[in-house]
Amino acid sequence: MPAIEDLVRVDAEALFAGERIEESLVQNLVLSGRKIESLVAWNSIFDNVSLANSRVGKLRLRDVRLIKCDLSNAILQGFEAARVEFVDCRMTGMRACECHWEDVLIENCDLRYAQLSDSRIRSSEFRSCNLSEADLRGVNFESAIFGNAILRQADLSRARLQGIDLSGAEIEGFIVRPEDLRGAIFSAAQAIDLALLLGIVIK
């Protein structure tokens, strides 16, 4: 990704034009409640941009960093992301079902109540994120990492968790089926909680 001083600053009009944004800086914009037909960005930075309660018809991001952006309650359709970083972003209630993410970092973000069902989120990392009560049903988390993530009361039924290390996550009250747990990695303390969840009596 280019240095920030080498990026071309773009305004809201450029975003609504629907043309691909490349090597650009999008900063300090409030686009809450707006509708954007298509947003495609490569090698760019979004800093303090609000898309809260907005609807984006087609969202494609590649080699993009989003810093302190507000995506709360946004509806993001056809969301594809590759080598993207979300840092200190608000994503509560964000709806991005059937998204395709690969090599994505989500760090220190609030994803409570987010809807990501039936998505592919591969080779990605959730670091210090709050996913409480998120809808993660049917998500393919192949090679994903959950570091210090909160998954309390999140719905992970039908999610692919085989080989995923959840030992550092808070999983109290999360929703899974017994078959969903096959191959996932948990700590000993979590195993006791899971036994209670599955109705297993430990003597």
pLDDT for residue 5:
73
Q: 121 near 144, Cβ under 8 Å?
A: yes
Q: pLDDT exceeding 90 applies to what percent of the chain?
A: 77
End-to-end CA distance of the chain: 55
User: For 86-127, what is each residue's pLDDT tens digit?
Assistant: 999 999 999 999 999 999 999 999 999 999 999 999 999 999
User: For 66-85, what is each residue's pLDDT tens digit?
Assistant: 999 999 999 999 999 999 99
pTM, full prediction: 0.92
> Which amino acid, one-letter code, is at 130?
N
Closest Cα to residue 153, out of 112, 93, 117? Answer: 112
| Residues 10, 152: Cα–Cα separation, whole Å | 39
| Residues 70, 57: Cα–Cα separation, whole Å | 17
Q: pLDDT exceeding 70 applies to what percent of the chain?
A: 95
B/e letters for 15-27, b = 16+ CB within 10 Å, e = fewer, are: beeeeebbebbbb
Check if 1-90 and 108-203 are the same fold: yes
- Quick one: tokens of 121? 């989120």
What does residue 181 show for φ and ψ, rounded to 5 degrees?
-85, -10
DSSP strand pairing (125-127 vs 120-122): unpaired
* In the chain, where the domains are located: 1-90, 108-203
Range list of β-strands (E), 108-160: 120-122, 125-127, 145-147
Closest Cα to residue 161, out of 136, 127, 135, 129? Answer: 136
Please say whether the structural domain 1-90 has been given the CATH code 2.160.20.80: yes
Which fold would CATH assign to domain 108-203? Pectate Lyase C-like (2.160.20)
